[in-house]
Structure 1
């Protein structure tokens, strides 16, 4: 089971929410960015094996999600929508059993002035266990 399959499942789950359907992107926006949007960045899944016969523990899927807006309120609104959608949810991954999603941390609001026009964003980390 690859981390890519988990990322695709997470993207589909977020895009299934009406408020997020057209503004969730996989790491980058192709073309002109909308005034507010969400970027999903996957992290490598763990590769721990704790017994000779192979994996015993479930995989842990981890993602960092950037919620971006032209003003701070937009970025915060998106972060709240994403958090409400994800925390406690079980992301459906074909052939896997998922634990509830946890919010594991985040960074304070930041301004990215390297892009015109400048944008505000919040970066939050989410994870869930995925077993056979």
Structure 2
């Protein structure tokens, strides 16, 4: 439930971003999808950092990383989609039931990469965002 709730919170922030609605895809691109779109993959962990380990030994801190692909037909448009993603996620504090969330942070960003494997040129920019929470 925690993985789904955190992923849903991030996806909701992207889907409700101001401006023209973003096409937000969770983990796969359906056939026929036309760029621009945002493709998101998630990875989670339960870190045992010395400053966050509870006295009872139970893991409480939860971290999810969103690997966000901003995909468009050229580099400028991929950067523009990436900027919209950044505006929607960076410093946002989402709501996750039963959890206290910290502001979302951007950990990494890579420039757009060209992909012609489908016969159509697309540029894919990847940014990694981190959301952390503890029980409320």
TM-score normalized with structure 2 length = 0.85
- Runs of 5+ unmatched residues, structure 2: none
Q: Residue 4 of structure 1: CA displacement? A: 2.2
Q: Residue 31 of structure 1: CA displacement? A: 3.0
**C-alpha separation in 1, matches of 2:20 and 2:119:** 23
Q: In structure 1, the residue corresponding to 2:91 is in which secondary structure?
A: coil
Residue 92 of structure 2 is aligned to residue 86 of structure 1: no
**C-alpha separation in 1, matches of 2:127 and 2:44:** 16
**C-alpha separation in 2, matches of 1:96 and 1:20:** 30
Equivalent residue number for residue 68 of structure 1:
71
Q: Residue 52 of structure 1: CA displacement? A: 4.9
Equivalences for residues 101-120 of structure 1 within 5 A: 101-120=104-123
Q: How many residues align?
A: 131
Equivalent residue number for residue 17 of structure 2:
17
Equivalent residue number for residue 54 of structure 1:
58
Deviates more, 1:19-28 or 1:63-72: 19-28
Deviations 1:21-65 (A, max 9, x none): 350110112231122000010012235384553124x21111110
- 8 Å contact kept, 1:66–1:123: yes
* Runs of 4+ displaced beyond 6 Å: none
**C-alpha separation in 1, matches of 2:15 and 2:90:** 15
